[in-house]
Amino acid sequence: MPLVHAERHAGPDVADEQSDPRALLADLYAEEPSQRRQAARGLAAHPQAAPDLCARLGAEPAASVRSVILTSLIAMPSDTVVRSLLPYLRSKDAALRNAVIEALQRMPGALGPHIRSLLEDEDSDVRIFAVNVLAALAHAQAPRWLEVVLRCDPHVNVCAAAVDGLAEMGDRESLPALTALPARFPDEPFIAFAVQAALARIGAG
């Protein structure tokens, strides 16, 4: 009988521990990946833990834990989360960078206010990553932002990425920016080819 009572009391205690953000934050740095995964999953219910999750992301060696951290962050989209994730676009770790791009694509509302500054970044690689985010962003302004890239960005590879994005999401409003692009890069024949492919995809080629 005492064992039965002990088991009944153990359940709430374990549940309390698992829902305590302080305990979860401590477990986020546990030795076992499974414990870190469980902590990252539990912290999805605690938006105040977003900075800690973002900070842990860069130091986390296990891909499975990174995935859960990002899933939890997607569940709490905010300006804080976006600002904390954007520096990872400069990461040399391609897997981490691509995972962050996918996560940002899942939070269009929070990312929207940061698009202009990303597209004006002095690093062309960051601008390409920003275009890659836009290419799959469920945001009504995404095609218009890509058109601005075609009109203004000086780097051919950034523009080529924007053409690829518009091939997927462009519409009739995208045609002027697309058709004008080859004249900006007359010595880059692949741009003319990519534009023709995009026009055909949209239905104007």
Does residue 201 lie within any of the structural domains? yes
> Would you state the pLDDT for residue 20?
87
pLDDT value at 50 more than 50? yes
Cβ atoms of 51 and 20 within 8 Å: the answer is: no
Alpha helices in the chain (DSSP H): 2-19, 21-27, 33-42, 50-59, 63-74, 79-85, 94-105, 108-111, 115-119, 124-135, 142-152, 156-169, 175-184, 189-202
Specify the number of domains making up the chain: 1
Q: What is the mean pLDDT of residues 157-186?
A: 96
Domain annotation covers residue 36: no
Domain span at 156 = 112-205
Q: In this prediction, what percent of the chain has a pLDDT beyond 90?
A: 85
pLDDT computed for residue 19 by the predictor? 73
Which pLDDT does position 136 carry in this prediction? Answer: 85
Does the pLDDT at position 86 exceed 60? Answer: yes
**Region 150-168: what's the mean pLDDT?**
96
Terminal CA-CA length for the chain: 79
Q: Is residue 77 part of a domain?
A: no
The reply to whether 136 falls in a domain is yes
| 176 part of a folded domain | yes
Does residue 148 sit within a domain?
yes
DSSP H stretches of helix in 106-171: 108-111, 115-119, 124-135, 142-152, 156-169
Asked if residue 181 belongs to a domain, the reply is yes
Q: Is the pLDDT of residue 154 over 80?
A: yes
12-43 confidence digits (pLDDT tens)? 343 444 578 899 999 999 999 999 999 999 99
Whole-number pLDDT of residue 18: 56
Q: Give me the pLDDT at residue 204, please.
A: 60
Position 173 scores a pLDDT of 95
- 14-18, 59-63, 166-170: which range is least confident on average? 14-18
Structure tokens at 161: 């990425």
| Structural domain contains residue 98 | no
The mean pLDDT of the chain is: 89
Q: What is the CA radius of gyration of the chain?
A: 22
